[in-house]
Structure 1
Amino acid sequence: MSEFDAIILGGGAAGLMCALTAGQRGRRILVLERADQVGKKILISGGGRCNFTNIHTAPDRYLSANPHFVKSALSRYTARDFLDLVERHGIAWHEKTLGQLFCDGSARQIVDLLLDECAQGDVQIRCGEDITAVDHADGRFAVRTQTGSWSAPALVIATGGPSIPKMGATGFAYDLARQFGLKVVEPRPALVPLTLGGEDVLFRELSGVSTEVIAQAGRNAFREAALFTHRGLSGPAILQISSYWRPGDPVFIRFLPDQPDGWLPEAKRANPRASIKSLLSHALPERLATALAERIGLQGDIGNLPDKALIAAENRLAKWEFHPNGSEGYAKAEVTVGGISTAELSSKTMEARKIPGLYAIGEAVDVTGWLGGYNFQWAWASGAAAGSAI
């Protein structure tokens, strides 16, 4: 049985960051990856250009049963730290909206960066390895696959969550955590499109229509584009609130978020011969304007309508209520809410409190970032925290 200082299960963003950090500290590191290559989710992220971090990273952009857990790791490995690494490798990048940083070229550049850094630390990486058993005795972990077995005093769970199963994602991290007696916060899909049924199903005819809105679930609201699909609602604003939405709860959409209160009565005085539909068509896609006007149900010239009816229409447009009947599930979810409970881990090192030498990082942990590079930054920060502690 070959021996290492640490075995890292999972060759994604967090696992590779942990490996390169520990390897460059002189540790003998083995990465075991089930897929035929490392970094598969990195390669498809950001439309193939990898939204590798967000310059606005802050603890309040993360969901967790313990919202303070992320503070230590994020403060010690920042977005600027990863950007320095990107620039050191000569990778051209650009900022999109809301602090999101992307490669100018390809996500492959980020994977190559991680592999180059791992090579500098003499990290061994084995792909196509299906883990058949993990045992722990006498302060050492033994890992078996279909091709061999290895042991180490440290084991890192970096196998992610069950989102995007077609990429090989599974709930293996949770099974392993439970094997070692660690609590798991019930996982659910996040950053995922929502589906519509009932009366809302009429909006499916708008498939392909997009507009900027403020989407709200509970006390959380995001201003970005919403997209109508043949199954329901998607787009950045919807993906963001999906992390906070719970089955049975409504989702509120503010159409025309830049219009001030009283704009419809004001429009009546300025242009009494206009219709609701024509007013909406100036600011919204034609099909959406038609659908909303039909559902509001006010016919004819607005000059003939009482202000009270116009204000009611305005209020409905400002807080249009949808009742999602579900989401598109892990198949379309970018990440997972929930995971290995942070109460079980040290926020400084990611080490399990009850099992010395056992670590959990990245998406396997109950930490979920907003859309826009935040989850990658958590992968880098948590991976660096564990890699510095091994």
Structure 2
Amino acid sequence: MLLRGRKRTHANLGSSEARGSRSKKPRNLRPTSHAMCNPLATLYGLPTEIRLEIYRYLYASTLIHVNCHRKRYCAPRFTWTLCRSTSTVSSLLCANPKWSGMCIEEDRCLPRDTSRELLGVWALAASSKFFRHEMHDAMFETVVFSIDPRDLFVWLDHLAKKEPQRRIEPSSPNVLRLRAELSRLLHERLRLLDSLDADLDADLDDFEILLDLTQETQVEKLRHLTIAGSLPQAIFRTDLKLLRKRAPRLKSVGIQCQDAVWQWYNWDRSQDSLVGDEAWRQWDMVEWMQDFPPTTTIALEAMVWGKRRSLWNDSRADKQSRIRVIRAGKKAVSSSTLGWTDADVVTEVVNTEAPTVCTPRGTQWQQWWRGKGSRMLF
């Protein structure tokens, strides 16, 4: 005969085991709510004009590298990389481009660098879709976009296909004022017409076209652009002429490129010295940039690499230099000077020698100097 044991209950269990198996229900799952001292003390509560000024302040001195990814039989895809550090001279220039041997490897800006976490305005944009949509116009008006010259017009075509992100509401005061003015001009013209058939339709079409001018495409919103690439400066010549037509509202333009060492250094003399303080006047890049009006800020930077060659300068060490030419935009400039006088231009030369550039052959920055068309520069 089998004897059944007593049923295990919480009463005959140990006190510690009973406490461990018993689950307590929470009394209240609702968080404690506190009344806001100031309901307007949030970013949502601020007026739109103040929020836009905050966005522009946060976007100031920000440089974005636009990267183009091409695949066969596929449309190009664009991504962006936040610049690690901009130049102290101008926010249009990257402090450490990928072809620079004047910085350590960790500080160099590379297209595949995704180690930086989102901070500041980028964290704010990622936190809310409303903020990201509202900050779109402020970004195009404030941020400096840096792109390779080979991808420039492909990117502009990509932006041109985008619809205007912000449509002006019909109730906006500016649109109402424009509609009233156009209506007045339309009625004055109709009084002078004998027939109101085809002419009326043509005038109404012109009226709609003028209203469409109140909207801007993304290309028209561009204000600051830098063309940067590890390429000889000759490739920039055609791009600069077309850029003026494609983006007529640019306020500042920057150029970062490589240049030939013999254009800036007297290698045939006993000392390696610059050819002179006026050498920038003979620079082809300065001549090409004169098509832009004096109101446009111009920042040019050329990097040269004087590589030691045992055949003719074995006693000299490797040397890299930056030559910068900065011209600040001015509102009132004489038409005869075009804004390129000595008083308008600020030049700067930064040199470095070993051990920064005297590194092994496989150093990463050197691969952009050994490409096709760039090898002859050093």
| TM exceeding 0.5 | no
Higher normalized contact order (CA 8 Å, seq sep 6+, divided by chain length): 1
State the TM-score, normalized to the length of structure 1: 0.25
**Higher fraction of strand:** 1
State the TM-score, normalized to the length of structure 2: 0.26
